[in-house]
Amino acid sequence: MSDRLRVGVIGVGYLGKFHAGIYAAMPDVELVGVADVDAAAAAAVAAKQGCRVYTRAEDLLGKVDAVSIVVPTVHHLPVARPFLESGVHMLMEKPLAPDYEEALALVELAERSGAIFQVGHLERFNAGVMALVERVREPRFIEVHRLGGFVERATDVDVVTDLMIHDIDIVMSLVGSPIRDIAATGLPVLTEHVDIANARIEFVNGAVANVTASRVSNKKQRRIRVFGRNGYHALNYIDQQIEVARAVSSPGGGRAEIVAEQVAVEPRQPLDAELAEFIRSIRTGQQPLVGGRTGLEALRVALMVKEKIASCLRT
């Protein structure tokens, strides 16, 4: 590996073009090229970032040390396979695959090759989420709302694997206990897939999470509330700020008082932090924050939620 890490981006739609721009700005990275079946889109991004353009992903083989895969989910395995078999490090946008079997195949390919394999659970790199993980102890009840308006992109998947999977992953990282039971409901509204969904997830240690996701709401809301033994924490994902309420014993021995405070969190762009983590993992050989097995588990639970919803819709 040269001093500058050679990186390519495969898929330069809404999100992929940002991957390309961030890599191009990194001093220790060379953005070798971008690839997309849309030749005009690829050419535009390549011209802006000063790299080569390809219409076939496989043309990047042998030219790169690492790639970001930012293509539709159904194409993840066939696009990624030759790169993983060649030991190319990979950041793959979530969800890993349309089903568990393909996702497992991706993870096992990466493990056999020894390549760093990071899954693009962007919200894990939200500064507020990282601060929340550090502060929360023994959460007992978690409530999450991720609501937004309809957008044309990502309509090849449902709202569970498009949006709710972020919060499933975060909830599991906070609770750290196996799942005991899931109840879920949802409905298609504007697409043939489920566009609004709610899941109640119960854990073996007694914790409960109530998670709602919608891509057909008229107001944008992204908020998580965590009730634990060390108080109540509320995070606004958008501004990355945390509110805390906790009980403080009265000096006179009377009833405890509720004290509210704001936690000072320095906001940052999560995608910048995510790609920096990917490059750092390649340089150090350390596993990324969201590795293949973590992404696989988040998908497994999301698919369980989908099956519960499908069961409700069939009745």
Tell me the CB-side half-sphere exposure of residue 168, using CA atoms within 13 A.
Answer: 32
Return the percentage of the chain with pLDDT > 90, whole number: 86
Domain range summary for the chain, segments of one domain joined by +: 5-121+271-289, 124-268+300-314
Terminal CA-CA length for the chain: 56
- Does the pTM exceed 0.85? yes
Which pLDDT band holds residue 264 (cuts at 50, 70, 90)?
confident
Which pLDDT tens digit goes with each residue over 163-175? 999 999 999 999 9
Q: Could you count the other beta carbons within 10 Å of the beta carbon of residue 266?
A: 8
Q: Span 268-274, mean pLDDT?
A: 96
Q: What is the DSSP string of 243-306?
A: EEEEEE--TTSSS-EEEEEEE------HHHHHHHHHHHHHHH-PPPSSBHHHHHHHHHHHHHHH
The topology (CATH level 3) of 124-268+300-314 is: Dihydrodipicolinate Reductase; domain 2 (3.30.360)
Residue 142 and residue 170: Cα distance in Å, rounded?
A: 10
Is the domain 5-121+271-289 a CATH 1.10.1740.10 member?
A: no
Which pLDDT tens digit goes with each residue over 207-261? 999 999 999 999 899 999 999 877 899 999 999 999 999 888 777 667 777 889 9
pLDDT at site 255: 78
Q: Span 107-126, mean pLDDT?
A: 97
Q: Does position 17 have pLDDT exceeding 60, yes or no?
A: yes
Residue 141 and residue 288: Cα distance in Å, rounded?
A: 28
Q: Does position 3 have pLDDT exceeding 90, yes or no?
A: no
Token representation of residue 284: 């150090």
Q: Span 178-206, mean pLDDT?
A: 96
Q: Does position 274 have pLDDT exceeding 60, yes or no?
A: yes
Which pLDDT band holds residue 1 (cuts at 50, 70, 90)?
very low
Token representation of residue 297: 């588990």
- Please provide the average confidence, as pLDDT, over all residues in the chain: 94
Which pLDDT tens digit goes with each residue over 38-61? 999 999 999 999 999 999 999 999
Q: Could you count the other beta carbons within 10 Å of the beta carbon of residue 231?
A: 19
Residue 204 and residue 202: Cα distance in Å, rounded?
A: 7
pLDDT at site 2: 54
H helices present in the chain, as ranges: 16-25, 39-49, 76-85, 100-113, 127-135, 159, 165-175, 270-284, 292-314
Q: Span 86-104, mean pLDDT?
A: 96
pLDDT at site 154: 63
